[in-house]
Chains A and B, each alone.
Chain A
Amino acid sequence: MKILIVDDDKDIIDIIVNFLELKYLPDKMKIYKATNGKDALNIALKEFPDLIITDLDMPVMDGASFIKELRKRYIEVPVLAISAHSVFKDNYKEYKANEFIKKPIDPDELYQKIETILKIV
């Protein structure tokens, strides 16, 4: 399974990768990383990931714009949005993300939300 993880902080990406590898088999996953929306879009259009986990507040192109660009191209990949701001908890759907998780990330909540959105699509 191809997973694209996007966050302007490399440590956050590293933590998420570690959480994922603890629960799911590392050799069944191929992880792509990006630190801004623009690079994320380029990778997504080239590699067609099965799941995207993206922060919403990033410089250059932020998470919301990145998701918008994806959806513009009719790309329905499941997207899990993350943010330090809890304000997105109620309107992440406006950004066309499938689910939302707040920072700091609770690993159990992470697993649960990933499994939920993978089932929908």
Chain B
Amino acid sequence: MEKSKILVIDDDNVILLLLKKILELNNFEVVTFNNGKSAIEYLKKNNIDLILLDLMMPELDGYEICKIVKSTKKLRNIPIIIMTAKSDESEIEKAINNGANDFIRKPINRYELLTRIKNLIKIKKYEIILEKRNKELKRINQLKNDFLGVVAHDLKNPLSIINGYTQLLLMNETNLNQKYKNYLMKILYNTENMLYLINDLMDISLIESGKYKLFIDKNDIVKTIKDCIDSLSYLAKEKNIKINFQTNYNEFISNFDKKRIIQVINNILNNAVKFSDDDSEINIILDIDKKYIRIKIEDKGIGIPEKDFKKIFKRFTRGSHAIEKDIKGTGLGLSICKDIVDLHKGKILVKSKENEGSTFIVILPIK
């Protein structure tokens, strides 16, 4: 293994010789200088792992040398230990303020010196490793973001085109019989599903890279819930499912990200409809107290086994019951819901009994 190289600067040649001997005995490579100017010239052209520096020197003193080293880009990371015969703390403080990393008092204790040197060299080694890893991480992160940008555009565009022409075929429906209209509606439905998945993946990537921002402003939670129910009414009607909304409030204003909370409520409601039988009912209850808004969504669907209560909020994980009953899903929606609610500093809870139904409770603090 390569020896660490130490530069010693002291105007006393006896001390230089002594230190050189001690350090070389302990497997360090040593270079000595009795003045600052030549030392700095040497530093600019050679690689050094540590500088041992006397404070009191004629011409260029220790403080000046510290300043110069720490302000030179190439040399800035080299640890400096200053040696001082003075016991005055202010002198030492001045040196540290000029960039010295550590200090040792003369007469020098051999073991104290060696310990400090070894520690500082270790720290420097890790600093270099960290810097390299950070650079690599930055590069990979940028790669991932570029990839996502490409995916979004390149996947969404063909999907948009399939979607667009399918809609145009349907809009010219007078020429089409019902069987073929249904085929086209299935194509449309599936392109929309693919788009939801792509959007979910993009959300997740943003959340995981810490770039997911909430746009919080004043919104009416009562109206928000009513809008969600409206947008799902078509789906519910298809299965003849009745959605009941109970609340004591005509209106309640609070601060939250409307688009994201709509995403959460829609996701849970959508699941409630998906997992419920035809002709059943879904209850939404809005409770508000001094501190919290509580939105309870109850269904009488297939339910969730207790062992899955935590799992369903994890990425790509679905309730085992849902998988058994072969109901489609990606396992992403609820994990994103949990992230959104967490970002609002709220909580999302689930209660359920297999084959009897599930209740999801979204709790949002009132701001």
Inter-subunit contact B215/A90 (CB<8 Å): yes
Inter-subunit contact A15/B164 (CB<8 Å): yes
Contact flags (1/0) for B244-281 with A, using CB distance below 8 Å? 00000000000000010000000000000000000000
Question: A20: shortest Cβ distance to chain B, in Å?
Answer: 11
Known contacts A86-B199, A104-B191; A12 and B164 CB within 8 A of each other? yes
Of A22, A84, A86, A107, the residue contacting B160 (CB under 8 A) is A84
In the complex, whether A69 has a CB less than 8 A from a CB of chain B is no
Some 13 contacts from A to B, beta carbons below 8 A apart, are: A9-B161, A11-B164, A12-B161, A19-B168, A84-B152, A84-B153, A84-B156, A84-B157, A104-B156, A104-B163, A105-B160, A105-B164, A107-B171
Interface range on chain A: under 10, 10 to 19, 20 to 34, or 35 or more?
Answer: 10 to 19
Given contacts A104-B191, A104-B195, 18 further A-B contacts (CB under 8 A): A9-B157, A9-B161, A11-B161, A11-B165, A12-B157, A15-B165, A19-B164, A19-B167, A19-B168, A57-B153, A84-B157, A85-B153, A90-B215, A104-B160, A104-B164, A105-B164, A107-B167, A107-B171
Which residues from chain A sit less than 8 Å from chain B, CB to CB? 9, 11-12, 15, 18-19, 22, 57, 84-86, 89-90, 103-107
In the complex, whether B159 has a CB less than 8 A from a CB of chain A is yes
CA distance A103 to B168 in the complex (A): 15
Question: A117: shortest Cβ distance to chain B, in Å?
Answer: 21
CA distance A86 to B157 in the complex (A): 13
CA distance A74 to B159 in the complex (A): 36
**With a CB–CB cut-off of 8 A, which chain A residues contact B167?**
19, 106-107
**With a CB–CB cut-off of 8 A, which chain B residues contact A11?**
161, 164-165
